[in-house]
Amino acid sequence: MSDRLAVDGGTPVIAEPIPGGMHGPSAIDEREIDAVTEVLRSGKLFRFVENSNVGAFEQEAAARLGVKHALMVNSGTSAIICALTGVGIGPGDEVILPAYTFIATAAAIVGVGAIPVIAEIDESLGLDPEDVERKITPHTKAILPVHMQGVPCRLEKILDIAKKHNLKVVEDCCQCVGGQYNGKYAGTWGDAGAWSLNYYKIITCGEGGLVFSNDYDTYERAAFASEPGLPMWMSGSEWKNDPFSCQTYRPSEILGAIARVQLTKLDDILGHTRKLKKAFIAELSDEPKGYIRQHIDDPSGECGISAAIIVQDVELAKKYTEALRAEGLGAGTAYNEGFPDRHIYTYWDSILFKNSPNPAGYPWTDPRYKGNVEYSRDMCPQTLSILGRALRFGFNVNMQEDHARLMAAAINKVDNALG
């Protein structure tokens, strides 16, 4: 193949479009359809029924994760809200989260009346442990690391910091269902973990979430946070904590039935995406000229649904983008003036402006909050610098290893010419 870049009139590396598609939805077949049909025929759509699908999903997910307790809820956001409530986070508390995540992570913190404190990411595209330490104040009660795009963040360092400062850790695994870190599932290292099962996630039931923990009190408090009527539906249970009333994040049996089937497909989905990522990495140059690879603490455990390269400077990243597109590989930096990646804090207006649903300005004006958090669009320059140079690529279940190899070949060609 000629070295001449397609952008300069050469032959593109990728002649046919790379297949797209979502992971979970692409795996839907007759089994999900049968499971839903069975629930509908039974007429029992409420989760607190005998032989509940939701209950079975919770047990099956807990067994897979190797945790004692799991609770299904109706979204990833509610899973984080219930996890935070479960570990005792509330008004007056600051929670540190990364500047690169979906706004729902920050919204969940506000949802429990606590204050989001936004910290930088580093070349792992996850929380920068050094900035986490800098952001700790006397009001900090928890760290909320996010495992973006199937890649666990620098958990070991984050857990050390949490231990040193006596902070809770709630892991947002919404984009990392089934991902592992040093041999244990993401989400099981901290005090609680949260999955999302929404349409875009690794497995899906349309909308759904899971909170999980090894601590019974955390689980029970998360359960109260998800369902004020819980003590009525489960009147025979012995509660260790006094029930309290919050919101209702109850999932239906239809969601539970789909989630159960999808969970059985998780190994196949991740087996495939990990194979794709392996083929991509094997083809990718070991000595790139113009970029570094995203840092990954434990490459063997990550989900294999994404790869990122971080180009030396913004101008060069723009040139890579243009050249890669001409080679047939869709690319773009995460932070740019074109189509924005809405997972960056700069797009979280409701947080940056401390907007509140009521004139009281809660939670930022809550008298129990003694801190003084400030936000601005340029408050995380390191994050903006990295994301302005980070090119991200996705792998999905509809792709074959040849596609992954071609993607790497296109990057190699562009890097050779421009790096």
Ligand X SMILES: Cc1ncc(COP(=O)(O)O)c(C=O)c1O
Residue at shortest CB range from ligand X: 76
Nearest CB to ligand X, comparing residues 226 and 321: 226
Q: Does 218 bind ligand X (CB under 6 A)?
A: no
DSSP code string of 112-150: TT-EEEEE-B-TTSSB-HHHHHHH--TTEEEE--B-GGG
Return the range that interacts with ligand X (CB under 6 A); candidates 25-33, 114-122, 167-175, 300-308. Answer: 167-175
- CA torsion 241-242-248-249 (nearest 10°) is 0
Show the CA angle centred on residue 24, arms to residues 21 and 29, nearest 5°. Answer: 100
Taking a C-beta distance cutoff of 8 angstroms, is the pair 398, 277 a contact? no
DSSP code string of 55-69: HHHHHHHHHHHT-SE
Taking a C-beta distance cutoff of 8 angstroms, is the pair 259, 279 a contact? no
Q: Does 252 bind ligand X (CB under 6 A)?
A: no
Q: Give how many residues touch ligand X by CB under 6 A.
A: 14
C-alpha span between 32 and 41 (Å, rounded): 14
Q: Does 146 bind ligand X (CB under 6 A)?
A: yes
DSSP E strand stretches across 65-165? 69-73, 94-98, 115-119, 140-143
Q: Does 113 bind ligand X (CB under 6 A)?
A: no
Applying CB under 6 A, among 53, 85, 101, 294 the residue interacting with ligand X is 101
Would you give the binding string for ligand X spanning residues 59-98, x where CB under 6 A is met? ----------------xxx---------------------
Nearest CB to ligand X, comparing residues 12 and 111: 111
Taking a C-beta distance cutoff of 8 angstroms, is the pair 394, 318 a contact? no
Taking a C-beta distance cutoff of 8 angstroms, is the pair 141, 89 a contact? yes
Measured from the CB of residue 210, what is the shortest distance to ligand X in angstroms?
A: 10
Nearest CB to ligand X, comparing residues 101 and 218: 101
Closest CA to 161 of 183, 125, 189: 189
Q: Does 124 bind ligand X (CB under 6 A)?
A: no
Nearest CB to ligand X, comparing residues 116 and 209: 209
Applying CB under 6 A, among 57, 102, 369, 393 the residue interacting with ligand X is 102
Return the range that interacts with ligand X (CB under 6 A); candidates 25-33, 99-107, 314-322, 402-410. Answer: 99-107
Q: Does 174 bind ligand X (CB under 6 A)?
A: yes
Q: Does 175 bind ligand X (CB under 6 A)?
A: yes
Q: Does 104 bind ligand X (CB under 6 A)?
A: yes
Q: Does 127 bind ligand X (CB under 6 A)?
A: no
- H or E element: which one contains 163? helix 155-164
- Contact partners, residue 271, CB within 8 Å, separation at least 6: none
Contact footprint for ligand X (CB under 6 A):
75-77, 101-102, 104-105, 146, 172, 174-175, 196, 198, 209
